[in-house]
Amino acid sequence: MRKYLTILAAALLIFSTSAQANSSKEGGASAYVKLETLTVNLHGLTQYLQVNMTLKLAKPEISESIKEWNPAIRHELILLLSSQKGAELATFEGKKKVMEAAKIAINKILKLDDHGGVTDILFESFIIQ
């Protein structure tokens, strides 16, 4: 009986330790950061773009830098997006081009490259009107 209690206690200790390790991993910073909605007039002032995007990060720790530099990041994104033409953004290639330019601009602000900073930009919504 004593042997079974010892085995049971050891098993409970192992499972509670692994559960605690998993919960601490889940509670940490995310490898994705969602930016606030951006709405800008497009080049020519007859159309506007409303976009929701999420940044995919190389390391979860970068999310703190994203929060710290958020005003500068939003500023650069507004300048970049407002210089685009609606007809170009309506194409797949146009979206990919602006996505790459945005990634480069954000990593420049963070003083990181795409291997250590923002690795991808995911559009959650992309409305041209």
> Residues with Cβ < 8 Å from 53, sequence gap 6 or more?
34, 35, 38, 102, 121, 122, 123, 124
Spatial separation of the C-alpha atoms in residues 41 and 87, rounded to whole Å: 13
User: Residue 22 sits in which domain range?
Assistant: 1-28
* pLDDT: which is higher, 107 or 7: 107
Same domain, 51 and 67: yes
pLDDT at 49 over 60: yes
Which of residues 5 and 40 earns the better pLDDT score?
A: 40
Question: Which has more confidence, 53 or 29?
Answer: 53
- pLDDT of 56 reads 96
CATH of the domain at 121: 3.30.479.30
Burial class of residue 61 in the structure, from the number of CB atoms within 10 Å of its CB (0-12 exposed, 13-18 middle, 19+ buried): exposed
Per-residue model confidence (pLDDT) at position 28? 56
Residues 8 and 69 grouped into a single domain: no
User: Per the structure, how many domains does the chain have?
Assistant: 2
Greater confidence (13 vs 108) lies with 108
- For residue 44, the model assigns a pLDDT of 83
Instruction: Clarify whether residues 72 and 87 are in a common domain.
Output: yes
